[in-house]
Amino acid sequence: MKKIDDAECLIDISSSDDEDNNIVHKTKRKESSKPIFAASSFVPLQNPKESEISDDDEPPALSPSDFEPSCSTNNPQPQQAGSSSTLVASENTSVRSANALLENPEGRNHPTFYLRSRSAAINTAALKDDVYESLDYDVCDNVLFKEEQKRTDNARFNIKKDILRWIIFIQIGVVTALIACVIDIPIEELSAVKYTFLKDSVDNNVAVNLNPNGNLVIPYLYWILMSIIPVILGAALVTYVEPITAGSGMPQVKSYLNGVKIPRIVRIKTLAVKAVGVVTAVVGGLVGGKEGPMAHAGAVVAAGISQGKSTTFVKDFRVFRAFRDDHEKRDFVLGGAAAGVAAAFGSPIGGMLFSLEEAASFWNQNLIWRTLVASIISSFTLNIVLSAYHGLHNFTFTGLFNLGKFEQPLKFEYFELPIFMLFGVTGGLLGAMWNSYNTHINRFRARFVKFKFARIIEAALVAIIGVTLACIMIFFINDCRPLGNDPTDYPVQLFCEDNEYNAMAALWFQTPEATVRSLFHDPPGSHKILTLTVFTLVYFFLACITFGLNVSLGIFIPTGLVGAAWGRLVAMIIFYIFPEATFLNPGKYALIGAAANLGGVLRMTISLSVILMETTGAETSFFFPLIVTLISAKWVGDYFTEGIYDIQIKMSCVPVLPWELLPKYKGHKASQLMSSPVICIKKIDSAKYIYKILRRCKHNGFPVVEDVEGNNRENGRVCGIVLRSQLIVILLNALYEEKKRFWEKEISIETFRNVYPRYPSIDSVRLPNEKQNYTVNLEIFMNPSPVRVSECDSASKIFKKFRALGLRHMIVINRENRVVGIITRKDFLYK
């Protein structure tokens, strides 16, 4: 099991419409059809001759590509993408700037033309992350913002804003739950139709006791048909309509909460595709669950509702305008993800803790409180709707315990604790193995399954493999159990006697979630040891090849299922050997096994333990065994690999900040981490210069300086920071100092907020000659209090600051408060 620390980037970012157009620049079509040179993850220093660029030269296709992500070194189909904003690796240009710096030291006076270097790290790792922007958790309190604050600084406005915020959180809870219902009910109904039909088909085609070999061909074909049709539908939707919806969505939500803006992650289209995708995939019988997608759905709902406008439907409801910034949006998304998890598991505290575990860098009591309320409302709404749907009239629909309530309190004995610990260790080992295999399969997949069509076929193939294996098992393993207190909804008689059912078919003829429920709650003696052994192995394999397909499916349920299966199995085996060991309640050990496996694969220990408690209604006293198991699993697993979500994030090259500074930077100083020299802007600078730097580089933050000697801007004294998006808005609205009398009255923070979150690209700006000499005064636009650190501050300290404050830029200054460098998220990861 190799550590997957240096996982290559496998993300496919070839879709045509991008939320962040400003960072994905158009490149000439002829470039995009160039062959990819760098298949390895290291780009050789080549084409040094291209490094000299003259001052007046302004090649439009050149400088943007300086910061093109090289994630696409592994991008499977740059040729087919055919869209105007395809991301291609132009690695020969991507080293230019650095070369310019290395070979052309006299160029220091023209910072525009060699750009901020990513220092020695001229490999793709340092660049591949440029698809992703950071979110601005830091509020830009410029003069306009303060004016608005002053205008609205009265108790009434604040109360109104507070009430609005609560209303939004309540709405998030309700809508998320409704969407969970929209996902849940069709899955239930369609699965019922499917498995009833299949059961009937088996019953009809296999004449009992007459033909012991049976004729399973017809049901088998039906089964395949009923699997691949939804799977193909779902895979096609995901592949052609919204590729970001592939997988569980948890890694994306994690990244977002960590402060990385993932393109298209919180759009309504994404939500729609995800919902349909997960229904089709689960109904199609793929090995996966709806839980991860539900958390993602919650996040989208939150982002949508809180902004009060939809870009997909080009509709601005003109409400909640005050919440249109990254800071507020992220808080809402936090609540949405919590509500999603709460709805998925019927676990409000688990939902809140999930958010907490994944995004706890910056917290505040009110936010936790609102998140908890959103979670509770979400699970309550789900409860109402499902209760009503199932015709119950009070709120105790037990379906809320998604994995079934343990009716008897789970008791345990002192001597079982070591067993739980061993389960944990096993779970950790199996989890690490699974993560490693899955990663290898996905890497293989990314390399060889490149065509969109092939991906759909692949999904269908996996579905067929699943059905085939299931059929073979049902056919050959004749595990007959007496009917009566049968725990299955679709008892298939097959080759069994009358009044008996096939236990293997019972495991397969339902959704994976229902299978987990069976394993937890079926009475002892519901399965043969052989049945479960084969089932566990097959499921482990199927889960491994399923996660990574181009379908919307979560990993939680299959992982828990595998764990529950081997947990139950081990209990059965021990009981077989020591029949006097009555403490071996197979349901209890299934739960412990599920915890162990989940801990080994996901490593989300805090929320996981609470979710398992809440979703099975286990007693508080059973917390301890669960925690013992989870700790063991996590520690053992962490020794070998990271959690599957983190692996996926790494493979997507998302610059997610870890909890602690990476060990390799320990003992470093700010000056070793920072990028320099920095492109700065004078407080009063020319429109021409601003336009030029915006075209030439893709940086998002520019320190504003004063006290500049001549044009030596990069050594000015810091007085603020201004964002690319702000500069573009300034240019677009022609907010020149010379024309101040025309716009002075009308300008407000709303001007900037209106274009959030999809800021126009610099390409949409025209700067006619007559305006070239106008100047822009950044006084009222810039953020006057950027976070500054001294060049000799220690890396661990600035990292803590960066993380705790949720920053995007940190300006490094010298003793005299002059800019010496800038630190962004990526500097903590790829230096």
**Min. distance of Cβ 351 from a copy of itself in angstroms?**
11
Task: Pick the closer one to a copy of itself by CB: 347 or 675.
Answer: 347
Site string for a copy of itself, 289-328 (x = CB under 8 A): ----------------------------------------
Dump the DSSP string for 767-788.
Answer: --GGGTT-EEEGGGTSBS---E
Going across the sheet that includes 717-723, the strands are: 681-682, 701-706, 717-723
Q: Does 139 bind a copy of itself (CB under 8 A)?
A: yes
Per CB under 8 A, contacts with a copy of itself among 658-677 are 659, 666-667
Report if residue 821 touches a copy of itself, rule: CB under 8 A: no
Nearest approach, Cβ of residue 598 and a copy of itself (Å): 15
Least distance between a copy of itself and beta carbon 172 (Å) = 15
| Contacting a copy of itself within 707-726 (CB under 8 A) | 707, 717, 719
Secondary structure letter of residue 289 according to DSSP: B
With residues binned 3-state (H G I as helix, E B as strand, rest as coil), the percentages for the chain, rounded to 5, are 60, 5, 35
283 binds a copy of itself (CB under 8 A): no
Contact flags string 422-461 toward a copy of itself, x per CB under 8 A = ----------------------------------------
Judge whether 590 and 561 are in contact, CB under 8 Å. no
- Shortest CB 152 distance to a copy of itself, Å: 11
Helix/strand number for the chain, H first, E second: 31, 14
Q: Is 482 in the site for a copy of itself (CB under 8 A)?
A: no
Among 2, 151, 160, 797, the residue binding a copy of itself under the rule CB under 8 A is 797
How far is CA 645 from its chain centroid? 8
Residue written as token pair 């239930």 = 188
**Binding-site residue total for a copy of itself (CB under 8 A)?**
78
SS3 329: helix
Whole-angstrom distance, CA of residue 47 vs CA of residue 41: 18
Select from 372, 505, 654, 727 the one that contacts a copy of itself (CB under 8 A).
372
Binding part of the chain for a copy of itself, among 186-194, 352-360, 453-461, 671-679 by CB under 8 A, reads 352-360
Kindly tell me which of 770 and 816 has the beta carbon lying closer to a copy of itself.
816
Residues 140-159 that bind a copy of itself (CB under 8 A): 141, 146, 149-150, 153
Binding of a copy of itself by 582 (CB under 8 A): no
Q: Which is nearer to a copy of itself, 42 or 395 (CB)?
A: 395
* Of the residues 171, 733, 775, 785, which one makes contact with a copy of itself according to CB under 8 A: 785
> Looking at 132, 323, 354, 380, which residue binds a copy of itself (CB under 8 A)?
380
CB closer to a copy of itself out of 218 and 581: 581
219-to-193, 210, 320, 462, 502 alpha-carbon distances in Å: 14, 17, 54, 18, 15
User: How far is the CA of 331 from the CAs of 163, 364, 800, in angstroms?
Assistant: 15, 10, 20
**Shortest approach of a copy of itself to residue 804 CB, angstroms?**
5
Question: How near is the Cβ of 800 to a copy of itself at its closest, in Å?
Answer: 7
Pairing mode, strands 717-723 and 701-706? antiparallel
Q: Computed over its alpha carbons, how large is the radius of gyration of the chain?
A: 29
Q: Which is nearer to a copy of itself, 311 or 790 (CB)?
A: 790
Judged by beta carbon, residue 759 or residue 802, the one nearer a copy of itself is 802
Residue 412 found at the interface with a copy of itself (CB under 8 A): yes
Minimum CB–partner distance for residue 785 and a copy of itself (Å): 4
C-beta of residue 462 within 8 angstroms of C-beta of residue 286: yes
Query: Is 92 near a copy of itself (CB under 8 A)?
Result: no
Query: Which helix (H) or strand (E) element contains residue 541?
Result: helix 529-546
- When the beta carbons of 319 and 606 are compared against a copy of itself, the nearer one is 606
Nearest to 508 by CA among 486, 553, 546, 538: 538
Q: How far is the CB of 659 from a copy of itself (least distance, A)?
A: 5
Under the criterion CB under 8 A, does residue 364 sit at the interface with a copy of itself? yes
- The whole-angstrom separation of Cα 827 and Cα 830 is 6
* 561 scored as a contact of a copy of itself (CB under 8 A): no
Of 65, 176, 383, 629, the residue at the interface with a copy of itself (CB under 8 A) is 383
For residue 789, state whether it binds a copy of itself (rule: CB under 8 A). Answer: yes
Longest dimension (CA), the chain: 99
By CB under 8 A, tell whether 804 contacts a copy of itself: yes
DSSP 668: -
Minimum CB distance to a copy of itself smaller for 126 or for 571: 571
With contacts defined by CB under 8 A, name the span among 15-23, 39-47, 342-350, 476-484 that binds a copy of itself.
Answer: 342-350
Q: Report which secondary-structure segment, H or E, holds 168.
A: helix 155-205
The nearer residue to a copy of itself, 651 or 813, going by C-beta atoms, is 813
Contact call for residue 792 and a copy of itself (CB under 8 A): yes
Q: Which of 411, 447, 739, 740 binds a copy of itself (CB under 8 A)?
A: 411
Residue 683 phi/psi, 5-degree rounding, is -55, -40
- State phi, psi for 359 to the nearest 5 degrees: -140, 30
Structure tokens of 465?
A: 């493999």
Instruction: Look up residue 695 and give its DSSP letter.
Output: H
Q: Which residue has the tokens 């895979």?
A: 235
How far is the C-alpha of 264 from the C-alpha of 32, rounded, in Å?
22
Cα–Cα distances (Å) from 253 to 280, 563, 602, 609, in that order, read 22, 25, 14, 20
Which range binds a copy of itself by CB under 8 A, 55-63, 228-236, 366-374, 430-438? 366-374
For helices 268-283 and 217-236, angle between their N-to-C axes, nearest 10 degrees: 170
The closest alpha carbon to 510, from 487, 532, 528, 526, belongs to: 487
CA distance 368 to 199: 47
Q: How far is the CB of 613 from a copy of itself (least distance, A)?
A: 8
Q: How far is the CB of 427 from a copy of itself (least distance, A)?
A: 17
**Count of CB atoms within 10 A of residue 444's CB?**
11
Pairing state of beta strands 775-777 and 684-686? antiparallel
User: Measured from the CB atom, is 304 or 404 closer to a copy of itself?
Assistant: 404
Q: Is 396 in the site for a copy of itself (CB under 8 A)?
A: yes
Q: Which of 6, 580, 770, 816 binds a copy of itself (CB under 8 A)?
A: 816
CA distance 689 to 772: 9
